Amino acid sequence: MEAGQCSGAKEEHCPWAKLVPLIPGYQEVQISSENPVVCSQTALSSVEKLPWCEINWDSGRGLATITNTSLAAILVDGAILEVSEELDIESGIEIVSGPKLEGYLSYTFQVIFTEDPDSRNLKISLDVELAKCSICLNIWHDVVTVSPCFHNFCNGCFSEWLRRGSCRPRMIPNHIACPQCRAVVHSVGRNHFLHNIEEAILQTFSSLKRPAEEVQLLDSHASIKSNLVVGSEKKTSRKRPLSLSEDDINGIDVPCPQCGTELAGFRCNRNTLHLQCHGCGGMMPSRPDIGIPQRCLGCDRAFCGAYWVAQGLDASC
């Protein structure tokens, strides 16, 4: 069997109807809601396949309609259907791919199932404007969500916002503002549910897709791979003792050992981003460029064991 669309249909698209040729030896044409355009051999004297009609299911009225998309008239149940005209059809009628019976292929239209083809799919109405990043004003790409305000941005856009914010000399320590509402961001992470919506929107509205070069640039800026703690509400890890100087103690809540003292040649500054260990809940500085794994290669969650061992501390995870 062949798909009903010229560009080819995806195998997962289940057909709801088909055109069965009256002459043996010719292929049936499957019709699905995703691929309603019929592209098949029309003339007996030529093997060329051409788009000549479009068959859709009208869920509001519970019946099928055919539209003539060819360059000439076609016959539907013996009646002439001119170019661009539309007609309601029922299962069992005969459709001829040309203006006359002689020399053209004839098909029988058959509905495979009578239920609404679209009733099997959950449809969500969404304003596309709500799926746009307020930084670049385009549809999200690899969307991330910040908390506690739950605004959404492109991974690359927000990663650049983080980088530039951490470089500002007068920035309050651990205070990264949401680009949309200016609330202090406590954490940010990738949103897999909204990523699926992002893909569905771009499949439906292909004109909203970005150029490949722009997508590549965004991906090169993206640094958020798992949940990233950004704000100041971080709890001290109860996993290991901290050795702090008297100047560091002074009643300040220290989010990680390297915030309080220099270990292995590194000490957190006021703008250092931190990761929260999925195993013990402790904090560690985000240092993706030092060659020490801080995330599981399987689940991409943060684990601090390997990092603290490399810093000369005992670790239990």
Within-domain flag for 142: yes
Within-domain flag for 3: no
d(CA 188, CA 202): 24
Within-domain flag for 9: no
Across 247-251, average pLDDT: 41
Is it the case that residue 4 has pLDDT exceeding 70? no
- With CA atoms as reference, report the closest residue to 29 among 47, 48, 6, 45: 6
Residue with tokens 């309601």: 88
- Out of 191, 225, 259, a domain closes at 225
* pTM for the full predicted model: 0.41
Count of other CB atoms within 10 angstroms of residue 150: 10
Lowest-pLDDT range of 184-188, 208-212, 284-288, 308-312? 308-312
pLDDT computed for residue 215 by the predictor = 93
Q: Would you put residue 262 in left (φ > 0), alpha (ψ -120 to 50) or beta?
A: beta
Better-predicted residue by pLDDT, 58 or 6 = 58
pLDDT computed for residue 82 by the predictor = 95
Across 159-167, average pLDDT: 84
**Residue range of the domain that includes 248:** 234-317
Domain count along the chain: 3
pLDDT computed for residue 273 by the predictor = 85
Same domain, 162 and 135: yes
Is it the case that residue 254 has pLDDT exceeding 70? no
- Out of 74, 94, 120, a domain closes at 120
Q: What is the CATH number of the domain that holds 202?
A: 3.30.40.10
| Average pLDDT of the residues of the chain | 80
Same domain, 108 and 133: no
Phi and psi, residue 165, nearest 5°: -65, -40
pLDDT level of residue 87 (50, 70, 90 thresholds):
very high
